[in-house]
Amino acid sequence: MLTRIDHIGIACHDLDATVEFYRATYGFEVFHTEVNEEQGVREAMLRINGTSDGGASYLQLLEPTREDSTVAKWLAKNGQGVHHIAFGTADVDADSEEIRGKGVRVLYDEPRRGSMGSRITFLHPKDCHGVLTELVTSAPVESPEH
């Protein structure tokens, strides 16, 4: 089942300024950046620590690349801040089906590609006490990519 907090997603208007805040304030450095065209975001993963299961914990900073993206709509409604929490799992397929069986809406029929080659799905916030929740099976992490 779920093994760790994989990341906390933070929606922002200006990715570069937000990265600089976390670097200057907390000393967090960018581990990985990418543009996810499907989700309409540019993101930076700031690695916080490693974990015993070979994964890590991150802050994921998300800047929308288009106005019709989910993150852009969320920012327009809520402003900058915590967007979602993601839990790590060794098997996103099995765990999402188990959770679906408990009556929680899983937003994707099949897990999709996420950051750094991971496989992800989301759980409906109305079924998770108002928290958009992501399940993540990380790809093996060998070295930082920018």
Rounded (10°) CA dihedral 48, 142, 71, 26: 20
Q: Is 134 a catalytic residue?
A: yes
pLDDT at position 139 is 85
User: Is the CATH code 3.90.850.10 the one for domain 2-137?
Assistant: no
Q: Is 7 a catalytic residue?
A: yes
Which run of H or E residues covers position 119? strand 119-123
Choose the catalytic residue: 32, 43, 63, 83. 43
Band of pLDDT at residue 140, cut at 50, 70 and 90: confident
Going from N- to C-terminal start, the domains of the chain cover 2-137
> pLDDT tens digits for 3-56?
889 999 999 999 999 999 999 999 999 999 999 999 999 999 999 987 666 678
The model's pTM:
0.88
> pLDDT tens digits for 54-79?
678 899 999 999 999 999 999 999 99
